[in-house]
Amino acid sequence: MTLLNVDIIDDEADAIALSTDMTNEIISELNTNFQTLGVTIESRITPFTTVNDYKASLGERSPDIIIVDLAFGTAFDKSGWTIINEVTKREIIPVVVFSAHADDAIPGDEIYKNLLIIRQKKGEGNYKDILKNVIELKLNFILEKERVINEFGQISLETCKKLINETEIQRVDKNILSFLALTRLTSLLLNIPPKDGSKFPPESIFIYPPLIHKTVSKNCVMLGDILQCREEGDLKGLWFVCSPSCDLVFNDAGDRKHKVNDILLLPCYHNPTEIRSFTGKPIGSIKESLKTSLKNKTSKILKCPRKIFSSPYLLLYFKEYRTVPYDLIKTSLENNSWEKIASVATPYAESMQNLFIHDFSRIGTPDTTSDEEEQDWITNFLR
């Protein structure tokens, strides 16, 4: 059984009753679908009528979804935002703002920018559809989290039993159990998507805001990081880090140092007309050049989150790679003239790296622009 904990904070009894009834109705409907996966869902709905009562109980509560009004008592008392503030310190919790003041601007505090907040004005729109989408989002998250925890235990035992002999136990690295479990689990999860048999979502899901690595310096970059240079000059723009992470990682304590002085960067563009070597060409010629570039794998188009890049696509162009001093990048990240704006998940970042290596290693060989030309070249080569 999977339990969904829903907290409702509202000073109107009718609003609490509506949210409660809709949640129970949605759970009943979803059970029909989830039971085919061998999962039964139950909900535990806990209502609160004051902000203070709810905040006093937070230490002993683990809500999965919060439905909250903004105004309590008077329209001037927007204390509902203080509850949402508390969510920033916890696991991913969708917050449904169900309020007559839902259209009010979200406070400008930085903490609110990274929250999953869905707003619905009371008495307007289809509240049930919104609530259903939020519930399904969190249920799938819970189920996948349970699968990860379960697989971790099984893979840890299986991996160690098959790879480590009794005589080796005294000699292996003391982190070997966790390393083996993590690497095997990562491999499994990347090859078997959620809900076995379904397809992975579009590759844009593998481009996300930069990860915070507490064990390394905040100015450390890794393979797949996408950096933005704001300084005027030939480096201004977006860049994909193509150097291996193992050469770049360092920490502030100084007991781990990076192994390279320069890092390899690939330029990223939103539009092929921005490519430096295409400058001045007519649009028709640029389109043909891009087709040839994509065919020859000297460039790659990535789907990406529009919210991060203000565009659904990024174009990586391998021919205009740059090597830049790592110290310059570190200093620029400190003074905010450069910024890490996204990271590409490791398998996809490595595929970009491999494409670049393929292109770099074939520099000097003939480029063929058609299958016929390719065949002619092969025929002449084999004479």
> Is the Cβ–Cβ distance between 228 and 237 less than 8 Å?
yes
d(CA 368, CA 2): 57
Of 97-101, 218-222, 225-229, 352-356, the poorest mean pLDDT is in 97-101
Residue 232 lies in a domain: yes
Helix, strand and coil in the chain, % to nearest 5: 45, 20, 35
pLDDT (0 to 100) of residue 364? 47
Whether 178 is in a domain gets the answer yes
In the prediction, which pLDDT does 234 show?
Answer: 87
Residues 6+ apart with CB under 8 A from 379: none
How confident is the model at residue 132, as a pLDDT? 92
Q: How many domains does the chain have?
A: 3
Q: What secondary structure letter does DSSP report for 320?
A: G
pLDDT band at residue 382 using 50, 70 and 90 as cut-offs: low
Q: Is the domain of 278 the same as that of 372? A: yes
Mean pLDDT of 166-172: 74
Q: Which amino acid is at 30?
A: L
Per-residue confidence (pLDDT) for residue 169, from 0 to 100: 72
Does residue 85 carry a pLDDT above 80? no
Assess whether 70 and 117 both reside in one domain. Answer: yes
Please tell me the distance from the alpha carbon of residue 245 to that of residue 187, in angstroms, as a whole number.
18
Within a domain: 144: no
Task: Look at strands 2-9 and 237-241 and give their pairing.
Answer: unpaired
**Quick check: 280 pLDDT over 70?**
yes
Contact indicator for 345, 200 with CB cutoff of 8 Å: no
Cβ pair 326, 381 in contact under 8 A: no
CA distance 262 to 362: 23
Q: How confident is the model at residue 363 (pLDDT cuts 50, 70, 90)?
A: low
> Which is it for the CA torsion 162, 167, 173, 177, positive or negative?
positive
Cβ(45)–Cβ(104) below 8 Å: no
| Candidate from 142-151, 199-208, 235-244, 349-358 with smallest mean pLDDT | 199-208
More confident residue, 197 or 240: 240
pLDDT at 331: 93
Mean pLDDT value of segment 24-34: 88
Which residue range(s) make up the domain with 190? 150-201
Residues in CB range of 80: below 8 A, 6 or more apart: 9, 51, 68, 69, 70, 71, 72, 97, 99
How far is Cα 354 from Cα 356, in angstroms, rounded to an integer? 5
Same domain assignment for residues 225 and 358: yes
Residues 193 and 218 in one domain: no
267's tokens: 């330029």
In whole angstroms, give the CA distance from residue 194 to residue 272: 35
- Condensed to tens digits (0 to 9), the pLDDT of residues 93-134 reads 778 888 877 777 666 555 565 567 888 888 887 889 989 999
CB 118 within 8 A of CB 134: yes
Is 227 among the domain residues?
yes
Distances (CA, A) of 216 to 246, 274, 357: 12, 34, 27
**Rounded to whole angstroms, how far apart are CA atoms 191 and 183?**
12
Residue 198 CA: distances (Å) to CA of 154, 187, 274? 22, 17, 38
Q: Smallest Cα–Cα separation from 337: which of 322, 346, 324? A: 324
Residue 145 falls within a domain, yes or no?
no
One domain, residues 83 and 177: no
Q: Taking 70 as the threshold, does the pLDDT of residue 383 lie above it?
A: no
- Using pLDDT thresholds of 50, 70 and 90, give the confidence band for residue 45: very high
365 and 226 fall within a common domain: yes
Q: Give the mean model confidence (pLDDT) for residues 41-50.
A: 89
Q: Is 12's pLDDT higher than 70?
A: yes
Beta bridge partners of 228: 238, 339
> Between residues 340 and 201, which one has the greater pLDDT?
340
Residue 279 has pLDDT above 50, yes or no: yes
* Residues 307-312, mean pLDDT to the nearest whole number: 83
Burial of 150 (0-12, 13-18, 19+ CB in 10 A): exposed
- My answer on whether 330 and 249 are in the same domain is yes
12 and 57, same domain (yes or no): yes
The closest of 284, 276, 280 to 315, measured between CA atoms, is 276
Judge if 271 and 285 occupy the same domain: yes
162 lies in the same domain as 271? no
Evaluate the CA torsion angle 271, 276, 282, 284 in order and state its sign. negative
One domain for residues 352 and 308: yes
Beta bridge partners of 41: 2
The mean pLDDT of the chain is: 81
DSSP designation for 276: G
Domain end residue (candidates: 101, 136, 171): 136
Closest CA to 139 of 31, 60, 25, 59: 31
65 plus 85 within the same structural domain: yes
